[in-house]
A = this chain, B = another copy of it.
Amino acid sequence: MVATRKQLAAWAALKNRRDRLEQGLFLVEGAKLVAEVQAAGWPIEALLEEPEAIARVSTLRTPPEVLAVVRLPEPAVSDWEPGSLVFLLDGVQDPGNLGTIVRTAAWFGINTVFCSTDSVDLWQPKVLQATMGAFLRVACPVVDPVVWVKGLPPETPVFGTFLEGENLFTAPLPRAGVIILGNEGHGIRPELGALVTRRFTIPQFGSGESLNVAAATVLLGAEFRRRMV
Contacts and interface: CB of A to CB of B under 8 A. Distances in A.
Given A96-B96, A219-B219, A110 B214 contact: no
Interface residues of A, number: 38
Given A211-B218, A218-B218, A219-B222, A206 B107 contact: yes
Contacts of A169: 222, 226
Contacts of A205: 107-109, 225, 228
Given A103-B208, A107-B211, A203 B226 contact: yes
A128 interface: no
A124 B98 CA distance: 23
Given A215-B214, A215-B215, A226-B203, A209 B132 contact: yes
A151 to B, nearest CB: 26
A204 B104 CA distance: 10
Given A100-B212, A214-B214, A207 B132 contact: no
B96 A211 contact: no
Interface in A134-168: 134, 137
Among A106, A133, A212: residue with most chain B CB under 10 A: A212
A210 interface: yes
Interface string A95-132: 01000100111111111000000000000000000101
Given A215-B218, A219-B219, A207 B109 contact: yes
Among A96, A104, A215: residue with most chain B CB under 10 A: A215
A217 to B, nearest CB: 8
B226 A104 contact: no
Contacts of A133: 209
Interface in A185-229: 202-212, 214-215, 218-219, 222, 225-226, 228-229
Contacts of A109: 205-207
Given A104-B211, A111-B206, 4 more contacts: A105-B206, A106-B207, A109-B205, A203-B225
3 A-B pairs with the lowest CB-CB distances in the bound complex, closest first? A109-B206, A106-B208, A107-B208
Interface of A: 94, 96, 100, 103-111, 130, 132-134, 137, 169, 202-212, 214-215, 218-219, 222, 225-226, 228-229
